[in-house]
Amino acid sequence: MHIFTLTALLMLTLSEPAFARNISNEQSEAASARDAVGDAMSKLSDIEQKIQRQQALLTQEQEKLKQYQAEKAQTEKDLEAKKAIFEQKSKLLDEAWKQRTDY
């Protein structure tokens, strides 16, 4: 019985907090790792927002490009029509000068 009591006392003594393992290093490392995860998540969020803004800007610029291309095509058509009119009017003027000199 005496050995049983001694064994029980020894077990209680060894389970006391005084013999608990110091885990402050692990706590510090876990906190640092948690902060690193938070920082990485924040950076990822910032980059995703930049990507969204850039995509919106790109969409706007693509719409402007389409508009300018359409304006260019219409201006080229107008130019060709105006050239045709100019050529016609120039021929008429040349004929008028020729008729004037023939008199």
pLDDT of residue 80: 98
Separation of alpha carbons 93 and 13, rounded Å: 122
Domain boundaries of the chain, sorted by first residue: 53-103
* Average pLDDT over all residues of the chain: 89
pLDDT of residue 72: 98
Handedness of CA 43, 49, 52, 56 (dihedral sign): negative
Q: What secondary structure letter does DSSP report for 22? A: P
Q: Tell me: the pLDDT tens digits for 85-101?
A: 999 999 999 999 988 88
CA separation, residue 57 to residues 44, 71, 89 (Å): 20, 21, 47
pLDDT of residue 100: 85
Q: Tell me: the pLDDT tens digits for 66-75?
A: 999 999 999 9
Separation of alpha carbons 41 and 33, rounded Å: 12
Residue 64 pLDDT greater than 90, yes or no: yes
Supply φ then ψ for residue 65, to 5 degrees: -60, -45
Give the position of tokens 């920082």: 39
Six token digits for residue 61: 């610029």
